[in-house]
Amino acid sequence: MPVAVVTDSTHYLPAELVAASGLHEVSLYVRLDGSLRRESDMTDLPGFWELMRSGADLPTTSQPSIGDFIACYEPLLQAGRDIVSIHISGGISGTYDSALQARAQLAESGFEGRIEVLDSRTVCGGLGLELLAAAARAQAGGSVQEVAAHAQAARDGLRIWFALDTLEYLRRGGRIGGAQAWVGGALKIKPILSLESQIEPVERVRTWGRAFDRMVEYMRTLHADGADGWCVQHSQAPGEAQRLVERGVEVFGCQPRFVSEVGPVIGAHAGPGMIGVGGLPAAMLD
């Protein structure tokens, strides 16, 4: 492929899809139990959740450094490949800004015009779907401009919802966005949220059963709108995710493009018990 697609570690695509799509990854970081670790090295998710429950403090997260990006970009550029670099929403992370600064430094080293950096305006499954669209265009031989334009068109067609067991982790992590107004309510709620550059409130319901039903209704809306390339993700809720997949197969008449569990960076902010569904037109993924 003349164009390399670079991303960060917050897409949580299954490893086989990452390999098949030829994606290159720059990891975010998690500070947990007194040590700073690369998210891509944290493969023991049950151990992470156990530490998160037992630790006195919530884990904190940080963006990759400019040097991390240069270490990924430079070998690709020297091999003659242009780059489209697509990252977690700039509204919730500084990762996009780090990538822009790395591009600026490399431009001064003679690689000007070789890197396109995109703010995905989403994360997790939404970012994963956007990456699959970009990779499909890159594998078809698209130019850096064509791959970037296709990724942006995919984002314009993307819709994503997720339901949380509690807002507490988002509140404590400072990533709560527009759902801030729901904090401190008298009733325990199950929030349903979206991500349009930052966290946006959709609806709050009183029970998990109702939250699940609303997610199924949303899949019907996605299908009716032509967003039939769909995915499911979760945080320590494999049973609920599988139930959602089963209902989704009934709605869409096809299997999801992927099902996966989110990792420590997003898990630290969403907490356990999250389920999410997203979709875009399947034609953008092929």
Q: What is the pLDDT of residues 122-157, one digit of tens each?
A: 999 999 999 999 999 999 999 999 999 999 999 999
Judged by DSSP in three states, 163 sits in strand
Q: Which of 106, 134, 156 is at the close of a domain?
A: 156
Looking at the fold, whether 99 and 163 belong to one and the same domain comes out as no
Please count the structural domains in the chain.
Answer: 2
Segment among 130-134, 156-160, 168-172 with least mean pLDDT:
168-172
Q: And the tokens for 210?
A: 């109702």
Q: Read off the CATH number of the domain in which 127 is found.
A: 3.40.50.10170
Looking at the fold, whether 65 and 182 belong to one and the same domain comes out as no
Average pLDDT rounded to a whole number, residues 241-264 = 97
The model's confidence at residue 214, banded by pLDDT at 50, 70 and 90, is very high
Strand order in the sheet with 198-205: 198-205, 190-196, 159-163, 274-280, 229-235, 258-261
What is the reported pLDDT for 77? 97
Block residue for tokens 């959602």: 244
Average pLDDT rounded to a whole number, residues 180-186 = 49
Q: Which of 156, 190, 213 is at the close of a domain?
A: 156
Looking at the fold, whether 175 and 143 belong to one and the same domain comes out as no
Domain of 176, in residue numbers: 159-285
Looking at the fold, whether 191 and 89 belong to one and the same domain comes out as no
